[in-house]
A and B are shown apart, each in its own frame.
Chain A
Amino acid sequence: MGIVSPGFQGRPRTQEPALPPGQYLTEDFPVLSAGPTPRVSLDTWEFVISAENGSEHRWSWQELMALPQETPTVDIHCVTRWSKLGTSWQGVSLDTLLAEVDTGAHFALAHSYGGYTTNLPLDDLRGGQAWVVHTFDGAPLPAEHGGPARLLVPHLYFWKSAKWVRGLRLKTMDEPGFWETAGYHDYGDPWREQRYQGD
């Protein structure tokens, strides 16, 4: 007879969260920032999509809030290895915003108040995968987390979800953004652990 009790089953697998490789679970919401926090008044806030032909589409805060609102609940994964599951947001789908834009571009460079940039394939901003969000957990998004509004692209590492987002520049050629020009991966898929260039 063995020394292991017949009832011993080990840790139930069902309690293990579905985390991408190399990530750990956090219940907090760590604040990461590459610079001072911009303070943007809602009176002057705007979101601008510039198409590759030079045309611009602008939304004021009031115009953004008048658009159809969605309430995604998603898992987010930071390249610094924390993941937070089941985060609740409210905002406008990029599908809604891009529907007003005539473009043949394949890439987007998101840019923010404060100067931050990050690049994404335009297809990753379509198909119910990306939002401009202004509410987190039922409350206005705090400035330290990117308020008044940030990009939310949860299927990529969270540095792609630009805080204090101000607009998108649509491009025919890919142009790397702030972290992508400093060693980080161009695409950043957490499930393929695309942290750094060449991963």
Chain B
Amino acid sequence: MTEMSYLDGNMLDGPMRELFTVDLSSAVGRCESCGMTGSMASLHVYSHAPGLVARCPSCEAVMMRLVRGPDRAWLDLRGTTFLQFPMPMEQPFPGPL
């Protein structure tokens, strides 16, 4: 019997591509700081800055930061507990076992 193994990060490409090609404004996010859950389209985004800073409309905590360099980008979602995306019924992700 072989031990359960893991796959390298390349396997994330398909699932992540499916997420990140959706319109983020259709997603619902939860603020890690105050727990408010709402549309990502309602975030307050400060763009006159070295990067984009998206804050919770309720408590002003930073929920997302996106920095775009010439050939790289950094995405920080530490302030977002989860993102919930609408998905087509015919392609469900496996549920918990």
Contacts and interface: CB of A to CB of B under 8 A. Distances in A.
A112 to B, nearest CB: 13
Interface residues of A, number: 18
A140 interface: no
A115 B65 CA distance: 15
B48 to A, nearest CB: 5
Interface in B47-89: 48-51, 53, 55, 60, 62, 65, 67, 69, 72-74, 76
Contacts of A182: 51, 65, 67, 74, 76
A183 B53 contact: no
Interface in A98-122: 115
Contacts of A79: 50
Contacts of A195: 69
A33 B67 contact: no
Contact of B48 (A33, A36, A159, A179): A33
A35 B50 CA distance: 12
Q: Is the interface of B mostly helix, strand, loop or mixed?
A: strand
A173 interface: no
A34 B69 contact: no
A184 interface: yes
Contacts of B48: 30-33
Given A35-B55, A196-B72, A183 B46 contact: no
Interface of B: 46, 48-51, 53, 55, 60, 62, 65, 67, 69, 72-74, 76
Closest 6 CB pairs of A and B: A183-B74, A183-B67, A34-B53, A196-B69, A34-B49, A182-B65
